[in-house]
Chains A and B, each alone.
Chain A
């Protein structure tokens, strides 16, 4: 329950901090921290415009996408307290339920019969395919280190003691951050502000959505960032007590948002061809983490 509330609270200001950081880095003042929330509320009050090519799939896709992200949020724990859904192997459920959301967002985009959205859909399908193995190997390494197979057990018993485990923790945080960037279609894979259809990935898939559906999709995006921020926080804080953990959680989320904003301000987007290579790098880093875990658990002979 605790993680659920905390992630929702963090989602409220995470994207606002990213946008504010980018604005200040460009020399502007930028919108307020809660502008994304105000945008979503405005969208929830509007009607909708649907394309005449689209069918029931287009109308239910945003709902299913949001529900999948929401249910994934219920799986993530916070320190010692479990998520609302917790069982052995729940990270497999986590990955696949996010896959369900992706499936529906891709076919929702194909439903409009527009070339832009088809482009976004094909790119999204390709990139998500490469990100999956990295996640599974990473969770496998953590399972090897701790001897457990559920999110909550892994994070509760992950003791970062020696220098190797700190290095592993840092690398794992980097991999999760990169996976978060891929899932939310941020730099250096995708520029959310480009609005040039030829260069978009995620933004172009939602080009035709409006009103309540668009509000759901944006909210799901904010939630996803907070979810991955919470997972990164969990990597380091399994054993800290609640009085310190909750403020540290918000501090870390803010710091992550700041880092994402800085990456977006100072880095150009990769050439489209290089995106796939970049994502495969993640799998290599995960393999590295796996071998590190082998070393730590003494099985590397």
Chain B
């Protein structure tokens, strides 16, 4: 009880104090609150991960009934992810926002929202009551919206924020349908009512209920085709908010899906196949579109969609394992999904923070104008490189571990599967391998064009590395990435309890990742150590061999071309040109070109802008047509006061008369029936 009071009071006091403090005081208040809440909830979470759940019942009100709070192993895992993200993101944000020190009112709001965001996210993991869950969800969505539109003088930012707000509320709509359906049928707002309701109504009804929740959470998570808000919201937000959104906010959607899986017993094979198909499409579509983007943050946002697809593949595999009673497949599927949630939050937030560094130094996010930043910003480059290697799933980093777990699950499934499953396994393996290859192409492009080569644009201000304080949390994230890659067993042991929650759904025997499972991860880390050892030995050998030899530095070999400029190097669009032509039918690329005319060369101009086909067909097209249809009723809004008074009078007459006349109308109809 004291814990809950402190959880509510600390942010409340901070929120009341923030507007009255000076800049430094504001920073201390925000970061101090975030850290204290993080420590508080992490303590509970670690206890839950080692077996001791946290349960508490608050008396609640007449409307909601008693409010249950529960932190079980699943919530604990997500709470730890959220806290790590907020601690590193908050520290980074403190120094990132220093450039906006001349907007104190904006900063007040931003600090308050940051605290609220963390508090609402953490409470979502623990609340077991529908109404309070929806309230916390709404607070989270609104604080995220207001945080995104920090730079509200730019129209693009406001449009992106409103896009996010509307789609967020569509997601809330679906969640509300699900919750109200259960509450209406059972009369209780507790989550256990959802569980008992679906037990008593198995079959298509509980499947439909699960689908409502799934769509609501999928919009939040960013599965295709509900993803269209992501690529607008993430670039528009300031860097630390983008990192937190991509690393943590979309994971709450995943948390919701997993929580509903635990509560609603459905036909696991069917749901698993459905989730697998959507995730595979999300993964492939996300990375295919990511490759085409010119805006660094938009590229990273599409990659978030891809990784949510990979997490979804893990969830789908786990569900199918539950459905076909295969304990290895289900434990590996859920373990891979949960570990990839942690991994993605780490490397994606690191990527967004380094992109924020780039933006702060150069004031542009357009890849085609960047280049050669490795000389000016070496630490940021190394951190971006580590995160890029991790996101491509390359050993010895953490992305490889979670993808390895998924592959192991798939190859184990092959042993016992029948024909239809085997065909789907082949396509999933192809999909995963394809996603890995595309991610490699995308990140070699991103790292190569932004950081390497020659600068493609001369900036009028100095481009220099950001301060050490801003880099400190990034090093912490990179360290964790490397630790997970080299010591995966530690984190797999933490995952035993959460995965057991899922395999327990079908009472499958869960032997902590042994057997055909994952003691191989020890061998994987041995192999990674061999790799690192060999690299270090070779680097040492090279240094020793080259110590007495002549090393000269010359301009790049240009095959005799005597006037090299920075413009002759490959741009990002040229890097992916062959790819975009090959897969042209999936893309929508707007091209504006002005060709050279006449005999003597004049200036020419070519501009391409990638757009999202799904957005065009799913969002733009229906919205435009709906507006056209509604425009026909414009005559109601003609601005004349007399008409509006008339509308009011008609409304009052109807409200009073219909109940009065209702009985008379029923009598009349009965009379007509007797005739």
A interface, CB within 8 angstroms of B: 44, 46-57, 60, 63-64, 66-68, 70-71, 74-75, 85-90, 92-93, 95-97, 99-100, 102-103, 106-107, 110-116, 118-119, 121-123, 125-126, 128-133, 135-137, 140, 143-144, 147, 149, 197, 207-208, 211-213, 216, 272, 276, 283, 287, 290, 294, 299-301
Contact = CB atoms under 8 A, between A and B. Distances in A.
Interface majority SS on A: helix, strand, loop or mixed? helix
Contact of B448 (A63, A111, A129): A111
A278 B425 CA distance: 24
A111 B444 CA distance: 11
A114 B569 contact: yes
Given A118-B570, A133-B429, A144-B414, A100 B552 contact: no
A129 B407 contact: no
A88 B408 contact: yes
Given A71-B534, A99-B392, A212-B546, A125 B440 contact: yes
A59 B542 CA distance: 10
Interface stretch (B192-200, B315-323, B430-438): B430-438
Nearest to A123: B578
B523 A85 contact: yes
Given A74-B530, A115-B569, 9 more contacts: A49-B551, A49-B552, A51-B557, A68-B531, A88-B408, A89-B407, A95-B433, A103-B389, A114-B564
A299 B297 CA distance: 47
Nearest to A125: B441
B542 A63 contact: yes
A99 B443 CA distance: 13
A273 to B, nearest CB: 8
Give the bracket for the number of chain B residues in contact with chain A: 35 or more
Given A71-B531, A85-B526, A300 B448 contact: no
Contacts of A149: 408, 411-412, 516
Contact of A63 (B404, B426, B539): B539
B394 interface: yes
A53 B454 contact: yes
Contact of B535 (A49, A64, A107): A64
A55 B392 contact: no
B418 interface: yes
A47 B546 CA distance: 7
14 contacts: A48-B549, A97-B394, A103-B443, A110-B447, A111-B448, A112-B556, A114-B569, A132-B436, A133-B430, A140-B426, A216-B538, A287-B426, A294-B422, A300-B419
Nearest to A290: B426
Contacts of A44: 545
Chain A to chain B: the 3 pairs with minimum beta-carbon distance, closest first: A118-B570, A110-B448, A129-B437
Nearest to B417: A299
Interface in B551-567: 551-559, 564, 566
Contacts of A93: 395, 400, 404, 524, 527
B527 A71 contact: yes
Contacts of A111: 374, 448, 452-453
Interface in B372-428: 372, 374-375, 378, 381, 385, 389, 392-395, 400, 403-404, 407-408, 410-412, 414-415, 417-419, 422, 425-426
A230 B394 CA distance: 24
B645 interface: no
Contacts of B531: 67-68, 71, 97, 100
B530 A71 contact: yes
A276 B582 contact: yes
A96 B393 contact: yes
A82 to B, nearest CB: 11
Contacts of B539: 60, 63
Contacts of A100: 389, 394-395, 531
A129 B553 contact: no
B579 interface: yes
Given A48-B551, A125-B444, A53 B411 contact: no
Interface of B: 371-372, 374-375, 378, 381, 385, 389, 392-395, 400, 403-404, 407-408, 410-412, 414-415, 417-419, 422, 425-426, 429-430, 432-434, 436-438, 440-441, 443-445, 447-449, 452-454, 516, 520, 523-524, 526-527, 530-531, 534-535, 538-539, 542, 545-546, 549-559, 564, 566, 568-570, 574-579, 582
B576 A122 contact: yes
Nearest to A105: B444
Contacts of A46: 549
- Among A102, A126, A137, find the residue whose CB has the most chain B CB atoms closer than 10 A: A126
B400 A96 contact: yes
A113 B395 contact: no
Given A63-B542, A93-B404, A114-B569, A53 B556 contact: yes
B436 A99 contact: yes
B299 to A, nearest CB: 15
A147 B535 contact: no
Contact of B422 (A55, A67, A131, A299): A299
B400 to A, nearest CB: 6
A289 B438 CA distance: 24
Contacts of B433: 95, 132-133, 135-136
B557 A114 contact: yes
Contacts of B556: 51-54, 112-114, 208
A301 B578 contact: no
B444 A106 contact: yes
Nearest to A101: B394
A87 B407 CA distance: 14
Nearest to B374: A55
A126 B441 contact: yes
Contact of B392 (A103, A126, A137, A276): A103
A114 B552 CA distance: 18
Contacts of B419: 294, 299-301
B422 A144 contact: yes
B508 to A, nearest CB: 20
A85 B444 contact: no
A282 B546 CA distance: 42
Contacts of A129: 434, 437-438, 440-441
A276 B452 contact: no
